[in-house]
Amino acid sequence: MSDKLTSPSHTITIRTLLLRDIGGLFLIALGAVLAVTLYFGNQGGLVVVRENANSAISSIMQTMKAHIRPALKAAEFVGQNAMQDGPPMSSAARDMALTTMYLHSHIRALAFIWNDGRVEWITADGRRGSRIVAPGSVEEQAVQEAREVGATYLAAPVYTEGAQLTLISARSPIYDNKGNYIGVAAAAFSPLDISIFLRDALVGRASVFVLDEKDRLLAHPILTDPSMQALMSREKPLLNATELGDPVLAALLDPKRRSAGTLDKTSGTEYWTAKVGGTSYVALAQKISFARGNRYTVGVYVDQSVSSYNNMMRYLGYGAIAGLVVMGLAMLRLRQLAERIRLPVTELASASNAIAKLDLETVPKIHGNPVREFNDAAGAFNAMIAGLAQFRVYVPRSLVMEILRERGSQGVPSVEREVTVLFSDIVGFTGISQKYPPDEVVDMLNAHFTLMNNAIESEGGNIDKYAGDSVMAFWGAPAIRKDHAAASLRAVRRIAHSLREDNRRRVEKGADPIHIRIGIATGKAIVGNIGAPDRINYTIVGDTVNVANRLEQLGKQVAPDKDVCVLVAAETAESAGNLENISDVGLFELRGRTGSVQVFQLNLEGEPT
């Protein structure tokens, strides 16, 4: 099959396609649909009711899973991987607990209750504490209960005075390396978060609820009212429907006031009906269990008249009448639909052109469309942009653009090329990393690498890699340029200027200034795609790379006290042309090489700062 694009003279617009070809079919199909609508309405109505109920309940169940399963896994993972040595909580265990709560923000706290009578806890905001377990307390019961269960499980809701909230804890027994039971890990989350979701969820006109085994309300939109939360206590961690002020749910839960049956045996969906104030209500519910422990009931209820069969048939009749009107307006509506489809296609084409230039900052977000395929395409496209945005930080945009300009989609072969290579390293970085907290070290490195990157790319250089506190860059590939050596020295001057400005600010803030060593070498090297088939880097290898690296290390000997020590090979100085502020520092034998190298030092003391 030919892969050539169709000639523009043989193409038609989406609008024309829909109006000409699909429009006629639409009119025929619409007439046929109107003819059979009433016939199939009876059976279809029941299917819709069942499917909508299952869909609504499924949405609630997914929310429950999103809160409960991470808590179960957190209790098991932290307990078994960080607390096997028992108390007290180590720094590694603390970090693991905080990371877990950061990744799952609905987990309010992690607690570790030991069978020696102690309990330790840590909250999501980093607060920690410990105390002795009181006899007969919930904590003492938890230790015994976890021993008997012997697996991860959900505990009954407990009201906590400190948080002024009812919490549910996912618990997992902790065993030491010899298999001895030493305590229980608990990850606590609040059912209030589930109530907030139920309040904000749009489930038509239905009201949603989650019950525990005692038909107490674990989650309900009304529970988000602070006045409802105020009714809870240690003795009453959950409210029933009457206490909540929901007479409809109270009637539906009362076996004496309701009728019950099974709607769908496959999913286990039950229905309850009850009459309150002269209005009939129907509830659909399913029982679910996520682990050993409590079993919950999730469901929805609605005014029965809203979803009754008679009203459904009446609406189908209205639909038939409306269909006759729609038939007369079909072509106009179809034209509007065609325009709505055309716009996202145009957006996709425009955005694709921006992607071809790797100009991701200007790529607009593609909006959805009533047509499923275009809507899916928009979602996939936006996801692709998000992925490219993340991927782009690992691949230099300037390097990719050079490769595309040089070879297009064919990529670049590995070739020998004369290039200039730069290595830089922060003086005394090991001491700096030991002196400052890790987050400050990372911030410092990111700021330093940004400074280096800006200076190097402004002179047409390419960052090859960051290795610890070191930077490797090169000029002269993939695009051939004659001034690669001079460009590298101009970049060094930019680096020195920016570094000194940054050091001035660091000193004003009370931080230590940063000193760096730089080595630059010019010569032949192999450049191109190097690596395994599924992990290839565009990089550079050869003796020139080794010389640049050794020159950077030689700075320790030549100028250990300079804030910016720049040593360059003779080939670099010669290729860069007549240079000022450069001095010959002699011949040196570099580690790992035979023969001597003539070394020059770039004097940056007189550079403007």
The ranges assigned to domains in the chain are 204-306, 332-394, 397-602
pLDDT at 169 over 90: no
Residue 1 has pLDDT above 50, yes or no: no
Most confident range, picked from 257-261, 287-291, 351-355, 484-488? 484-488
> Is the model more confident about 27 or about 552?
552
The more confident residue out of 431 and 369 is: 431
Buried-exposed string 138-155: b where 16+ CB fall within 10 A, e elsewhere: bbbebbebbeebeebbbb
More confident site: 522 or 39: 522
SS3 415: strand
CA distance 485 to 404: 23
pLDDT-based confidence at residue 573 (cuts at 50, 70, 90): very high
Predicted local confidence at residue 488, as pLDDT: 94
514: DSSP letter: -
What are the φ/ψ torsions at residue 219 (nearest 5 degrees)? -150, 140
Percentage with pLDDT > 90 across the chain = 21
Reported confidence tier of residue 142, pLDDT bands at 50, 70, 90: confident
Tell whether the model's pLDDT for residue 516 goes beyond 90: yes
Residue 82 confidence (pLDDT): 74
DSSP state of 603: -
For range 66-77, the mean pLDDT? 85
DSSP state of 102: H
At residue 209, φ and ψ (nearest 5 deg) are -160, 160
User: How many Å apart are CA 559 and CA 557, to the nearest integer?
Assistant: 6
pLDDT mean over 441-456: 93
Q: Which pLDDT score is estimated for 3?
A: 46
Residue 88: pLDDT over 90: no
Q: β-strands 292-293, 415-426: how paired?
A: unpaired
> Average pLDDT over the chain, rounded to whole?
80
Q: Which of 13-22, 263-272, 543-552 has the lowest mean pLDDT?
A: 13-22
Contacts of 508 (CB under 8 A, 6+ apart): none
Question: Which CATH superfamily, name and number, covers 397-602?
Answer: Nucleotide cyclase, GGDEF domain (3.30.70.1230)
pLDDT for 359 equals 60
CB 227 within 8 A of CB 244: no
CATH T-level fold of 204-306? Beta-Lactamase (3.30.450)
DSSP one-letter string for 338-393 = HHHHHHHHHHHHHHHHHHHTT-GGGPPPPP--SSHHHHHHHHHHHHHHHHHHHHHT
Query: Average pLDDT of 382-394?
Result: 62
Is a pLDDT exceeding 70 seen at residue 511? yes
Distances in Å between the Cα of 190 and the Cα atoms of 198, 212, 248 are 14, 14, 25
Q: Which of 232-241, 483-492, 544-553 bottoms out in mean pLDDT, i.e. has the lowest? A: 232-241
Whether the CB-CB separation of 208 and 221 falls below 8 Å is answered with yes
Higher pLDDT, 253 or 310: 253
Encoded tokens for 341: 């489809």
Q: Looking at residue 17, what is its pLDDT?
A: 65
What is the predicted pLDDT for the residue at 452? 94
**Residue for token pair 């979602």:** 379
Identify which has the larger pLDDT, 556 or 404.
Answer: 556
Residue 413: asked if its preceding bond is cis (omega within 30°), the reply is no
- What's the rounded mean pLDDT across residues 386-415? 58
Residue 2 has what pLDDT? Answer: 43
Confidence at residue 309, expressed as pLDDT on a 0 to 100 scale: 47
| Per-residue model confidence as pLDDT tens digits over 492-502 | 999 999 999 99
Average pLDDT over residues 516-529: 92
Other C-beta atoms closer than 10 Å to the C-beta of 411 total: 14
- Cβ distance 194 to 210 under 8 Å? yes
Kindly tell me the burial class for residue 276, based on how many C-beta atoms sit within 10 Å of its own C-beta (0-12, 13-18, 19 or more): middle
Q: What is the pLDDT of residues 204-231, one digit of tens each?
A: 567 888 888 888 888 888 888 888 888 8
Q: What is the mean pLDDT of residues 157-172?
A: 85
Is the pLDDT at 26 greater than 50? The verdict is: yes
Higher-scoring residue by pLDDT: 237, 60:
237
| Confidence label for 392 from pLDDT (cuts 50, 70 and 90) | low
Q: Does position 591 have pLDDT exceeding 70, yes or no? A: yes
Say yes or no to pLDDT of 438 above 50: yes
Total residues belonging to the chain: 609
Whether the Cβ atoms of residue 299 and residue 209 lie closer than 8 Å to each other: yes
142-146, 351-355, 500-504, 545-549, range with the lowest pLDDT: 351-355
DSSP reduced 3-state for 230? helix
CA distance 231 to 244: 9
Sign of CA dihedral 582, 550, 477, 480: positive
**Paired tokens of 398:** 């300037």
Task: Please give the order of strands across the beta sheet that includes 269-276.
Answer: 217-219, 207-211, 296-303, 279-288, 269-276, 259-264
Confidence grade of residue 30 (pLDDT, cut at 50, 70, 90):
low
Interval 317-330 mean pLDDT: 69
Q: Which of 245-254, 278-287, 337-346 comes out lowest in average pLDDT? A: 337-346
pLDDT band at residue 607 under the 50/70/90 scheme: low
Point out the least confidently predicted range of 73-82, 185-194, 317-326. Answer: 317-326
